[in-house]
Amino acid sequence: MFVPQTLATAIALEGVGLHTGAPTRVELQPAADSGRIFFRDGVHIPAVTDFVVETRRSTTLGRQGVTIATVEHLLAALLLAGIDHVEIHVDGPELPALDGAAHRWSAAITAAGVQALQGEQQGIHIESTRWMREGDTEFFLFPAESLHLYAAIAIPETVAERMMAGGCVDDAGVREQLLRARTYGLEWEVQALLEGGLARGGSLDNAVVLTHDGYLN
């Protein structure tokens, strides 16, 4: 059990979506007992796996025909800030890319402040190890006294052929590493992404581009 938290004051950020290139304004408002929930076009979409409708190059939530894309960076920032209840009002199809990471979201949350709520909230306790696989992605859960997050990627013929990061999120250095983890892509797939209707708002300011022997930026 733990004390639930929300924002102390509202936040508003705007920018263009990474994949759609569409301008979007997002307002985060304090909430008492809603969980993390998105609002768009009069439809509310809880930020839980039951409402995930697409995971191609980003995470898209949807309900009743309304979708909101690329929610992962904001949700990461909310998790690391301990924000359990918040209303997220979005006026476009995708959250703004900002710096291509969770860092700008985190800075805005820190500036707004965190407010403790009344009562207690049940957490999730992992009691045994579990290994899951879907396509070329694997996910491993194991019991621990505190939250640890790790990510490993293997992209042949790039500097990310064997790359791993993470650790205990209570460690300030690990938290900073997670918050600065940026959207990435491969130099030779940029054209295919554009032809597939993706990365229209991508730039060297909000994404890292890998080459065969290093980084484009």
Query: pLDDT tens digit string along 202-215?
Result: 777 888 888 888 88
Report phi then psi at 27, rounded to 5.
-120, 125
Of 108, 97, 104, which is closest to residue 16 (Cα–Cα)?
Answer: 97
| Better-predicted residue by pLDDT, 96 or 186 | 96
Helical packing angle, 103-112 and 72-81, nearest 10°:
40
198 pLDDT tier (thresholds 50, 70, 90): low
Q: Is the pLDDT of residue 26 over 90?
A: yes
Quote the mean pLDDT of the chain.
Answer: 91
Cα–Cα distance between 85 and 78 in angstroms, integer?
9
185 pLDDT tier (thresholds 50, 70, 90): confident
With contact defined as beta carbons under 8 Å apart, do 25 and 92 qualify?
A: yes
Query: What is the gyration radius of the CA atoms in the chain, in angstroms?
Result: 18
Of 152, 8, 1, 15, which is closest to residue 81 (Cα–Cα)?
Answer: 8
Tokens of 29: 């408002």
Cα–Cα distance between 53 and 67 in angstroms, integer?
8
How many other CB atoms are there within 10 angstroms of residue 126's CB atom? Answer: 11
Cα–Cα distance between 150 and 127 in angstroms, integer?
18
